[in-house]
Each structure stands twice: as C-alpha cells, then as structure tokens.
Amino acid sequence: MRAEPLQIDDLLGDAYPDAHCELDYRTPLELLVATVLSAQCTDERVNLTTPAVFARYPDAAAYAGADRAELEALIRPTGFFRNKAAAIQGIGAALVAEHGGEVPGTLEELVALPGVGRKTANVVLGNAFDVPGITVDTHVGRLSRRLGWTTNTDAVKVERDLMELFPAERWVMLCHRLIFHGRRTCTSRKPACERCPLADLCPSYPTGEPPAPKKSRAKGRSRSTKQ
C-alpha cells in the first residue's frame, strides 16, 4: 500500500475531526429512509423533511401500509417524491415480509430492497451497523479522481480502487472526511486550493483539474432514485 493515501487521510482527519454522517437518524430504519430521500437532494433538505416522516411512520409496517398520497406529500420537498415514495413503501413491505420488520445488516440483503443500491447500503452498514464499506457519492468520486486514487467514473470501480488503497477500518471515516472536504473546500465548480490542507500532496493542485478520467459507457439517463 502506498503511504500517500494514508497520509492524506490523516490530514483530513486533522482538518475534520468531527466528520460524520450528516443525515439525522436514530435507528437503522430512519437512516435507510433518509438515505433514500437524499438521492438528488441535499442532506439539509432531507433533515428538514424527516422529522414529520419519522413521527408519522415509526416502523416498517407503517411504511408498508402508508397512504401513498400522504407519504408523497410529506416527502415532496426532497424531489422525485413519487419514485421515492414507491421505494420507501416497497422497502417497508419487504422488511415486514422478509426480515421481521428489521433492517438487515448485510450488503446482499440491503441491495435486494426496492430503491437500495450499493451507496445506500454502505451508508446504512457503516453508520448503523459499524460494518466497513465505502460510500461513493459525488464528492468521494470527484475527490478520489482529483487526488489521483482512481481514474474511473463508475462508482463500483471507484469503490474497488479505494478498497485496495485503504484498510477496511478506515473506509467509513475516510468517506465522511472526503464528503466534508468536498462540501467545504474541494467543491466541484471552484475548489479552494489556496486554503486546502492537502495542497502539497494533491496532484491536481493548483488548478483543481485531475487527469482525464476513463469514460464509462452510459445507456442513457434515467430518473431512478436507486443509489
């Protein structure tokens, strides 16, 4: 393993000692629902929306039996509310039918749920169950390319590249730190390289532009909220 990625993670740890999941939740189910709602939506907006949702639907059975129009109205501020409502209601039904109403603690079981992809599954596993996983959101993907850890744009390939660079015990916090850094310093449109604690080690400094990434074949855009 190269020393540089670990050194960068250490510097990020110094810069963001309070890095954490910024979605508000108390239980694995609340985190799962919040993460589904976070697709193409900010965590801040999700956190403003979920208190009413969590109060109205305290368990998987409540989501499964929810009035669809009422659920859609509650989550409407997060966008794509019809797709998200269908996914959340489907998750509730699947949890009741297959898992005794409880959120499962394995990647395989989580990604089998409606609307749940590897990103969502890894968020739940890492934060609710302390199971190591790498969550490749837009920030993690962008920073990984800027730092020269990957040239891939496909999230699964980025996940695998990072798994090779870092030991499992670092995976969850690494992602939190990268997300904090991506939101506060290394932003998409105008990275603040002049005040970045990683500038001396970053191959993209001072322009913020990484080497041209490999292009993944796309089959066209969709509005799927599975992530």
Q: Which residues are catalytic?
A: 119, 137
How far apart CA 176 and CA 135 sit, in angstroms, is 9
Question: At CA 35, angle to CA 157 and CA 177, rounded to 5?
Answer: 60
175 is in an annotated binding site: no
How far apart CA 62 and CA 88 sit, in angstroms, is 11
What burial class does residue 108 get, using C-beta atoms within 10 Å of its C-beta: 0-12 exposed, 13-18 middle, 19+ buried?
Answer: exposed
Listed residue (119, 122, 125, 57) closest to 91, CA to CA: 57
Tokens of 181: 């850094």
Q: Is the dihedral of CA 31, 34, 36, 38 positive or negative?
A: negative
Task: Count Cα neighbours of 217 within 13 Å in the Cβ-side half-sphere.
Answer: 1
How far apart CA 178 and CA 175 sit, in angstroms, is 5
Residue numbering of the annotated binding site for [4Fe-4S] cluster: 186, 193, 196, 202
Residue numbering of the annotated binding site: 186, 193, 196, 202
